Amino acid sequence: MNPLSLSWFLLLLATLAFGVALYFWLRDKPMEYKRKVMIGLAFGLWAMSTIFTLQRVADPRYAEFTITQNLPLHFCSMVQFMLIPAYWLRGSSKWLQSFRALLFYPGAVAAFMALLAPAQEYLNQPLFSMNTLFYFIHLGNVLLCLMLVVLGFHTPTIRGALGSLVTFFAIGMLVFPITLAIRHFIDPAANYYFSFDPAGSDVFELLFGVIPIPLVYQLPLLLLVIPVLLLQYGIYRLISNIAARRRANRHIDSTLLPQH
């Protein structure tokens, strides 16, 4: 399995097909029914990720894959856990909208970036192996983050898109001292949020080559990703407008039908 390979695209298409089927199954169901289904899927994704991590930690073939380097402090791991309360919690308060925006925007983008530029240990691996779970898990992140909007749990805004980047970097600043402490007292190779080492990711390698300063080297990425977040918002607006026009046309057609 490699990015942009045939198997990679087939896996992507299978996930898209699952997402479309999930939408048509749930679109007319009550919100509480949707909530229960999505909580189940979110919990399943988190469980799959946890099992995958523990399996690799216990496997002697991956001696460098230690528990101290794979605590749930990587952003994608946080997303898997945060998806559960994102679907569980009710309401549309400002903080909850910001929380869901963090998942819809950076959460989905970060997972897709991991699929496009995974660490070297996930390249050139057999399709039917435990390593393929890395791709399944990150595709699950992308899907469940986007379904927050598709199923009506979150309404995206431009302000939410830009604010989500601030939240994303703030989390990175909170994780950074924890990473420093782990590196100093427990494991000098700890690298949460990829703060100290690009870990073989082509995008991070490029940025680190230009700005070889821990964590700071990721700052240009925040600017580079803004067009991607705005594209997400634009696609949402386009689809929403098309759906609104269709509903309006159906309403007009129904009023023109002869009355008996």
Task: Out of 5-14, 96-105, 151-160, 218-227, pick the least confident.
Answer: 218-227
Residue 219 has pLDDT above 70, yes or no: yes
pLDDT in tens, 119-161: 777 887 777 777 788 999 999 999 999 999 999 999 999 999 9
Q: Angle 80-77-106 (CA atoms, 0-180°, nearest 5)? A: 75
pLDDT band at 259 (very low <50, low <70, confident <90, very high): low
174 inside domain: yes
244 inside domain: yes
Count CB atoms within 10 A of the CB of residue 87: 25
Residue 201 has pLDDT above 90, yes or no: no
Task: Out of 70-79, 96-105, 194-203, pick the least confident.
Answer: 194-203
pLDDT at 218: 86
pLDDT band at 234 (very low <50, low <70, confident <90, very high): very high
pLDDT at 223: 86
194 inside domain: yes
Task: State the DSSP code for 103.
Answer: I
pLDDT band at 32 (very low <50, low <70, confident <90, very high): very high
126 inside domain: yes
> Does pTM top 0.95 for this prediction?
no
1 inside domain: no
pLDDT at 246: 77
79 inside domain: yes
51 CB-near residues (< 8 Å, 6+ apart): none
pLDDT at 33: 96
Considering only CA atoms, give the Rg of the chain: 20
234 inside domain: yes
Residue 81 has pLDDT above 90, yes or no: yes
- The better pLDDT of the pair 72, 4 is held by 72
Task: Out of 36-40, 76-80, 151-155, 237-241, pick the least confident.
Answer: 237-241
Q: Count how many domains the chain has.
A: 1
221 CB-near residues (< 8 Å, 6+ apart): 203, 207
DSSP 229-244: HHHHHHHHHHHHHHHH
Q: Is 38 exposed, middle or buried (0-12, 13-18, 19+ CB in 10 A)?
A: buried
pLDDT at 188: 92
- Domain of 250 in residue numbering reads as 6-256
190 inside domain: yes
